[in-house]
Structure 1
Amino acid sequence: MPTAEQLTEPIAEHGEGPVWDDDGGRLLAVDLEQGDLLAVSPQGDVRTRHIDDVLACVRPRREGGWVLAARRQFAVVSSIEELLAGREEPQMLPPLWDDPDLRFNEGGCDPQGRFFCGSMAYGGSAKGGQPVGALWRLDGDGSARVALGGLTIPNGLGWSPDGQRAYHVDSPSGEIALLHVAPETGEVLDREPWVRLSDALGDAADGADGATGVPDGLVVDAEGGVWVAVYGAGVVLRFDASGALSERVDIGVPAVTACTLGGTGEGEAGTRGGSVLYVTTSTQGVDLAAHPGSGAVFVLPVEVAALPPLRYDG
């Protein structure tokens, strides 16, 4: 089983939402409940900008700039570089709810340029662990609506290379599901199980402390493989397009939150002709004496090529 290497020092209380910034040649991620944007170079240098009391997800826009999901509202910026330098402030869109127990979580764009992002209850709130979350859809005109309700901890979301299949995680379900999304309208027509971690791994889905690992963030590669971070088990798993387990990567810390693929591909020093797997991790609920690397970004060169992140058309 390959083992990822620690790229950075611990840089986040709860690292999440990694995405490759092609133009900047770097990884972008978030320290979710601190509301910080993290920009990480391939050498492990880090720049940080505080955005809000929560920053859940960041994705590129088709015409340049980025779309963000803060605590309860979307936002857009024209330049990550200007944002990091303090010369630009996010343009916040209207709040979508008033409930203080809810916040945004992970998301991603579809091939048509709509930005989907999940909402959930804070774990320590009165609604924590209840199915009060939703998958929100931000259309190109800036309007937002609930695309799918009844979720608990909506997490990773990604599309197949041909744009025909959407993979989605609601973590407590223990599975990666298929979302059937109407391409013309963005309406979610159905959600069905695709891979259950317990079926794929059995007892190997459990972490060393006995806690059951659950699926968290995911990314889809150029061959249609789905890489999923398994929170609590300290691993990232790859399932091929048929749903068969094809690779298991040991991260070395238990709270593995999300993953993405990036880098310049074949020929880059340190790669094996493919791309680089980037993995974010968390310190929350972790014995830091036993796992001092928690909160760092981890990396592993892999043989499969990355897909460029889908972009928001707004």
Structure 2
Amino acid sequence: MRDPRVLVDGRGLVESPRWHLGRWYVSDWSAGEVLAVTPDGEVEVAARVDSLPLCTAWHPEGRMLIVSSREGKVLALERDGSLTTYADLGKPGWNDVVVDGRGNCYVNGAGFDPMSGEEFRPGGIVLVRPTGAVVEVAADVAFPNGMAVTPDNGTLIVADSYRHELVAFDIGADGVLSARRTWADLGDGTPDGICIDAEGAVWYADVPHRVCARVAEGGAVLERVEVDRGAFACALGGPDGRTLCVVTAEWRGMSELVGPGSGQVLTVDVDVPGAGWP
């Protein structure tokens, strides 16, 4: 057991933590803001996008990609602070995003709007190639959430929250996914955001169980970091890659989402550094 430290307090539904060039980047879905946070907790607004969900990834060529779910687009944050269209996904309703070391961008989405009372339909994953072309590469992921790519660019791991498992796919030379399999059966665990470490284990955040758990392939639990509210996502970073950033908030259900001002950014030291993407 490890005790986390509060880096940022008083936010809304915080998600999508990423480490880049000495700062943490997190999305406050309630405010429609992407925040840049120093290791000392100083906060700056890096971008404003009216979208919920609002997830981000860093492209290897240096730009931040932002999924504007409501517009059905992937946006790029340019060096002058402007936002341009990186890819048009053709419809709204997208969730998480990860970009591998070759510039392949994977975006997932549920097959229904859980906030509107629509009938359940499974979701899927699309690939945005470096050319901007969009290709569907996976279907029948019940509720896709966090995604991570192994450091060899060979495997995409996806959190399926509704099926309580981590799903893996082989990544082909063309970015297309194949060889789908259950990477870890989590029992009653409900994975949201995830990240990979240098020993090949996955950390996953779990909202209803208020925990971040580190699991091996197959599902054996190696470590746990307990928090006092819902854990939405986690990422490894910091100067030596051994800081686990966890974003949390008081979960109140789909109708209300989170308690106002309950969002926090936490950090905790771990032994094994991060690897792969994000």
Bin of the TM-score, shorter chain as denominator length: 0.7 to 0.9
Cα deviation for residue 152 of structure 1 reads: 3.5
Structure 1 residues 55-106: Cα deviation after superposition (integer angstroms, max 9, x where no partner): 5221122222222211111111233xx4xxxxx22102454234xxx42111
Cα contact 1:31–1:55 (8 A) shared by 2? no
Partner of 1:299: 267
Q: Are the counterparts in 2 of residues 220 and 226 from structure 1 also a CA contact under 8 Å?
A: yes
Match for 2:178 among 178, 185, 189? 189
Does the alignment pair 1:227 with 2:213? no
Per the alignment, residue 166 of structure 1 pairs with 156
- Deviation of 1:140 after TM superposition, in Å, equals 0.3
Moved more, 185-194 or 168-177: 185-194
Aligned pairs (5 A) from 1:59-208: 59-71=57-69, 72-79=72-79, 82=80, 88-93=81-86, 95-98=88-91, 102-120=92-110, 121-127=112-118, 129-131=120-122, 133-182=123-172, 184-198=173-187
Q: For the structure 1 residues 175 and 293, does the alpha-carbon distance in structure 2 shift closer, same or farther, using more than 3 Å as the test?
A: farther
Instruction: Decide whether aligned partners of structure 1 residues 77 and 259 sit closer, same or farther in structure 2, where only a CA change above 3 A counts.
Output: same
2:51 pairs, out of 26, 50, 53, with 53
**Amino acid paired to 2:210:** G
In 1, the alpha carbon distance for the partners of 2:95 and 2:268 equals 25
SS in 2 for 1:285: strand
Report whether the alignment pairs 1:278 with 2:245. yes
Deviation track 1:228-261 (CA, whole Å, cap 9, x = no partner) reads 10121010011135643210111221x2110001
CA distance in 1, matches of 2:30, 2:105: 21
Paired AA for residue 296 in structure 1: Q
Stretches of structure 2 lacking an aligned partner (at least 5 in a row):
none
Aligned position for 1:256: 231
Asked if the contact 1:261/1:276 (under 8 Å) is kept, the reply is yes
User: 1:152 and 1:302 mapped to 2: Cα distance?
Assistant: 31
> Take 2:119 and 2:232, find their aligned partners in 1: how far apart are those partners?
18
- The amino acid that maps onto 2:4 is A
The amino acid across from 1:124 in the alignment is M
Q: Aligned residue for 2:4? A: 4
8 Å contact kept, 2:184–2:217? no
In 2, distance between residues paired with 1:280 and 1:256?
6
Determine which structure has more spread, i.e. the larger CA radius of gyration: 1
For residues 59 and 23 of structure 2, the distance between their equivalents in structure 1, rounded to whole angstroms, comes to 16
CA contact (8 A) 1:19 1:59 kept: yes
- Which TM-score applies when normalising by structure 1? 0.78
Q: Which residue of 2 aligns with 1:85?
A: none
CA shift, 1:43, in A, is: 1.3
Q: Secondary structure at the match of 2:50?
A: coil
CA displacement 1:99-131 (0-9 Å, x = unmatched): xxx421112123432010111233222436431
TM-score by length of 2: 0.87
Spell out, residue by residue over 1:268-314, the C-alpha distance to the aligned partner (whole angstroms, 9 max, x if none). Answer: xxxxxx6110011234417x9xx89831111101111122646xxxx
- Would the aligned equivalents of 2:158 and 2:167 in 1 still touch at CA under 8 Å? yes
**Structure 2: distance between partners of 1:146 and 1:130:** 16
Tell me if structure 1 keeps the 8 A contact 2:104–2:175. yes
Query: How many Å separate the matches in 1 of 2:121 and 2:143?
Result: 9
Change (3 A) 1:219 1:67: same
Distance in 1 separating the partners of 2:109 and 2:276: 25
Match among 19, 35, 38 for residue 35 of structure 2 = 38
Distance in 2 separating the partners of 1:176 and 1:54: 23
Per-residue CA deviation, residues 20-62 of structure 1 (Å, 9 max, x unaligned), is 01x2x11111123543211111112222232233352211222
Distance in 1, Cα, partners of 2:93 & 2:30: 9
Identity %, equivalent residues = 27
